[in-house]
Amino acid sequence: MDRIERMKELVELLNKASESYYAKDVEIMSNFEYDRLYDELTALEEETGMTLAGSPTLRVGYEAVDELPKARHEQPMLSLGKTKEREELRDWLGDKKGILSWKLDGLTVVLTYEKGELVKAVTRGNGEVGEVVTGNARVFKNVPLKIPYKGKLILRGEAVISYADFEKINDQIEAVEDKYKNPRNLCSGSVRQLNNEITAKRNVNFIVYSLIQAENSPENPVEVYNSRKGEFDFVASQGFTVVPYKEVTADNILDAVAWFEEEIKHYEFPSDGLVLTYDDIAYSMSLGRTAKFPRHSIAFKWADEVRETVLKEIEWSPSRTGLINPVAIFDPVELEGTTVSRASVHNISILRSLKLGIGDHITVYKANMIIPQIAENLTDSDSVEIPKTCPACGHPTEVRAANDAESLYCTNPECAAKKIKSFTLFVSRDAMNMDGLSEATLEKFIGHGFIHSYVDLFHLERYKDIIVEMEGFGEKSYQNLMNSIETARTTNLHRVLYGLGIAGIGLANAKLLCRHFDYDLDKIRHATVEEFLEIDGLGEVLANACAAYFSDREKMEGLDALLKELTLEKPQTDANAQILSGMSFVITGSLERFSNRNELKERIEAKGGKVTGSVTGKTTCLINNDMTSSSSKNKKAKELNVRIISEADFLEEYMKGEN
């Protein structure tokens, strides 16, 4: 293939990858591969003296999408020249003083203030035109809406989401394929929301890295700075968060880079390198720009620590949505100070592009020094077979294409992996209380075929040799898990009923069922809808749900098998202590004598009472320390003539003065 044809191919590949990454938040190639192809294209452009129309080397970012208004930047935003050589930074700086700071990996946003108020926020877009996200910027976690300075102020910075918030938000997303690949993707989607209520919940931070304009006039005096540090001090004085930086010279810049290299292991926000800029503003502006880059700054990208290893297997990990994710397992290697032995391959498209085969020699690295990735396959045997059956249930799989990427799915609607939520509920604290079986661990065990039913949870010792070798486990963790499972064998009936996941039957209703039928499971199993309706507060929908569950032959066979693993203890109840039997309470507002509402709720239920979430005509009283509150529950109680009493009055009147 001649050089021009190769350039055309690279332009198409890179643009397709960029569109997927920036506009669709779908990764169809690794960052490592993208950088390699980009560098190849750059080299070919230099060799040929030719730049093709549409080349990504001419662009700066994604094109603005149609859903948000667009605005032109007052100053075009250019990409920076980059290097991976530390000594090149020192040579570039020469005898000048510089500012070395994080190159944050989020979404660039430009803020404009007038008369001390935020009036406009625009994303980077393509460098000349961006998307207007003013409403979203107003709910960024740390952006001041009003500032002391009253002149026109324009700031450029990076919207970022911390690793901690990224993990927290991802944990709340059930579908694996809907989870965000990294904080940058999450941040991009959060900043570009049409509804800023969603943005507000994402804890987006804005970190300033450049002062673009500070209008100076007699009415709005501002000291004229000729240093980047001076600008940062001024910006910080207005209440903004400034990117962490170090003042450097040629003598200490290598030490400063080493400091950042160590600090990135603990830094809360994602960074894909550093930026070095001249401190002397007049000097840096006098340098002008090249055809592509300004000369006042240069980006430093971490030279990825790459290690060669051998691919041992591809682990296929099923999820609750049916998606089966390929995970590469390889001989352990040391990367960035930790031992790594596995890396996500993301989807079938990436798996095929890497041409993986068991026994292949591969190189691995950590993207942004954090996330393990495969860099290259040195063998290219391309022999990994896509499984035709699901490892969790044995049913057929199929490859489906979406957003330019192919992924593998299980076709069985009853696959155990799709029931991960039911297993998570069963082992939860209020159910069987099996400590050590997080949702992530359950997914691994189901993916390996260890768990098909609740009974299997009590026989994980069959897989000890495999479990102790799994990431995050070892002999001690395994033994702790076994001890927890053994303890869970002795339990109460209401915990079991709650853990079964009967539609609408939470812990409180499970206790109601048990108390009504005197903890006799046989009576519960053979009760009719009419008998369930006799339970105060159960209602027709829940009564039908209970009757339907206990009349399901397959479910009852599973329950019989489960009961063989358990010893059920009947709680000792004192009939005289059930002083709240038949009463219904609602709790709202803050409490003074209990640490939370659940603690008071448990105390009421222990006395035979019931706690509900809404006020009805059957409510005995509403417990609210703020009896004059205009809350919806207080209003409803007044409408229905339901008493509103304080926590102290409730304890005195209904609990015989208990504290």
Catalytic sites, residue numbers: 103
Please give the sequence-ordered ranges of beta strands (E in DSSP) within 544-602, or none if there are none: 567-568, 584-587
Q: How far apart (Å, rounded) are the C-alpha atoms in residues 68 and 65?
A: 7
Q: Work out whether strand 371-377 and strand 245-248 pair parallel, antiparallel, or are unpaired.
A: unpaired
Sign of the C-alpha dihedral computed for residues 149, 151, 157 and 163 taken in this order: positive
Q: How far apart (Å, rounded) are the C-alpha atoms in residues 403 and 642?
A: 55
Q: What stretch of H or E contains 611?
A: strand 610-612
Task: List the one residue out of 352, 357, 359, 346 whose CA is nearest residue 309.
Answer: 359
Q: How far apart (Å, rounded) are the C-alpha atoms in residues 76 and 74?
A: 7
The helix, strand and coil proportions of the chain, stated in percent and rounded to the nearest 5, come to 35, 25, 40
- DSSP sequence for 265-309: TT-SS-EEEEEEEESBHHHHHHT-B-SSSBSSEEEE------EEE
Q: Is 134 helix (H, G, I), strand (E, B) or coil?
A: helix
> Cβ of 29: how many Cβ atoms within 10 Å?
21
> How crowded is the C-beta side of 308, counted as CA atoms within 13 Å?
6
Task: List the one residue out of 55, 161, 156 whose CA is nearest residue 109.
Answer: 156
SS3 string, 195-251, reads: CHHHHHHCCCEEEEEEEEEECCCCCCCCCCCCEHHHHHHHHHHCCCEECCEEEECCC
Q: How far apart (Å, rounded) are the C-alpha atoms in residues 577 and 517?
A: 18
Q: Are 427 and 434 in contact (CB under 8 A)?
A: yes
Residues in the chain: 659
Q: Are 199 and 190 in contact (CB under 8 A)?
A: yes
Q: How far apart (Å, rounded) are the C-alpha atoms in residues 364 and 375?
A: 5
Q: What stretch of H or E contains 491?
A: strand 490-491
Q: How far apart (Å, rounded) are the C-alpha atoms in residues 91 and 86?
A: 9
Q: How far apart (Å, rounded) are the C-alpha atoms in residues 381 and 357?
A: 5
Q: Work out whether strand 129-131 and strand 117-123 pair parallel, antiparallel, or are unpaired.
A: unpaired
Which residues have a Cβ under 8 Å from the Cβ of 294 and sit 6 or more positions away?
A: 78, 80, 287, 288
Q: Is 549 helix (H, G, I), strand (E, B) or coil?
A: helix
Tokens 């039908």 -> residue: 544
Beta bridge partners of 313: 329
Q: How far apart (Å, rounded) are the C-alpha atoms in residues 620 and 481?
A: 43
Task: List the one residue out of 470, 488, 345 whose CA is nearest residue 428.
Answer: 488
Q: Is 88 helix (H, G, I), strand (E, B) or coil?
A: helix
> Cβ of 208: how many Cβ atoms within 10 Å?
21
Q: How far apart (Å, rounded) are the C-alpha atoms in residues 343 and 330?
A: 8
